[in-house]
Chain A
């Protein structure tokens, strides 16, 4: 009887954990999908990587005896980035030859609800996003991860080092190389942007 009661108690704890997990997943899901999409540049792969990341998180959080996680957002980001890096490594040979997937871009754009920014802002962001996406493909997976975590999530380099489990110096080196490459690749955009927008945009 004790064993059965213990099993039921475990089941109840798991259900409670699942409910909490659901709320948490809803709050993080969009961010994680965006991160995976920008790292992988492929809708289906990003979808799959997002699912894998949450599945891993669920296993870690809702299993009996799972240790508590202090900063869940950072921890989940690490899971997602590692999942994406694994996928990038596994397709490394074709990664460099890959052309941008127009269908993927259109898919995401079609899903975009009207938001506060003006149509001009959205168009501008879309142009930069497209060019940036193309330029990011020229970076190594780690450089890309470092840059994306800073660019889209505005994380401190110390945090990025923690997420990627790298030295701060290594992260800085990746970032410096990424910026150098991106500057070269997006050189033409500096001029276009300044003349067309008359503002000091950075990309």
Chain B
């Protein structure tokens, strides 16, 4: 003779502890009670309170704020970092450009320079007056 499932057994079945649904067998009464139990749970879950969309939206904003705060500093300071990098590159290029070649100093130039200086120093007549004096010189 078929023994009906007790309420406790049905609850265990509902929570996965009993054997599978096949335990219900062909008994119409047990199947009906099982279906009632499932329906009761469905109604219970459907009637549960839920958080509002506004609450969830605010929660999402908080999550994004935390994600943003966790971003590496490099990303947040990127414009400044990029400018600093460009400035360094330009400075580096300028420094690495070959300096204009200096003319080698030659001894002849030095001696010529000093000769001219001595000539000016030794001359009694100021250099600026030379052209004027030339006007009064008699031509041979």
Residues of A whose CB lies within 8 Å of any CB of B are: 11, 18, 22, 25-26, 29-30, 33-34, 37, 47, 50-51, 54-55, 58-59, 108-109, 111-113, 115-117, 121-122, 124-126, 128-129, 147, 150-152, 156-157, 172, 175-176, 179, 183, 190, 199-203
Contact = CB atoms under 8 A, between A and B. Distances in A.
Chief secondary structure at chain B's binding surface: helix
A201 B8 contact: no
- Which of B11, B47, B59 neighbours the largest number of chain A CB atoms within 10 Å of its CB? B47
Contacts of B7: 190, 200, 202
B60 to A, nearest CB: 7
- Which of B14, B17, B44, B62 neighbours the largest number of chain A CB atoms within 10 Å of its CB? B44
A199 B36 CA distance: 8
A11 B75 CA distance: 9
Give the top 9 A-B pairs by smallest Cβ distance, nearest first.
Answer: A125-B47, A111-B52, A112-B49, A201-B40, A117-B47, A200-B36, A157-B16, A121-B47, A122-B47
Interface string B1-25: 0000001101110111100000000
A111 B11 CA distance: 31
Contact of A115 (B40, B47, B55, B66): B47
Given A30-B50, A34-B50, A202-B40, A156 B60 contact: no
B51 to A, nearest CB: 5
Report, as a range, how many residues of chain B touch the other chain. 35 or more
A111 B46 contact: no
Contacts of B67: 18, 55, 58
Contact of A55 (B14, B33, B66): B66
Contact of A156 (B11, B16, B43): B16
Contact of B55 (A18, A111, A151): A111
Contacts of A116: 46
Contacts of A29: 56, 59-60
A172 to B, nearest CB: 6
Given A116-B46, A121-B47, A25 B15 contact: no
B66 A51 contact: yes
A156 B45 CA distance: 17
A167 to B, nearest CB: 15
B101 interface: no
Given A108-B49, A157-B16, A179-B17, A200 B63 contact: no
Contacts of A128: 44
B118 to A, nearest CB: 61
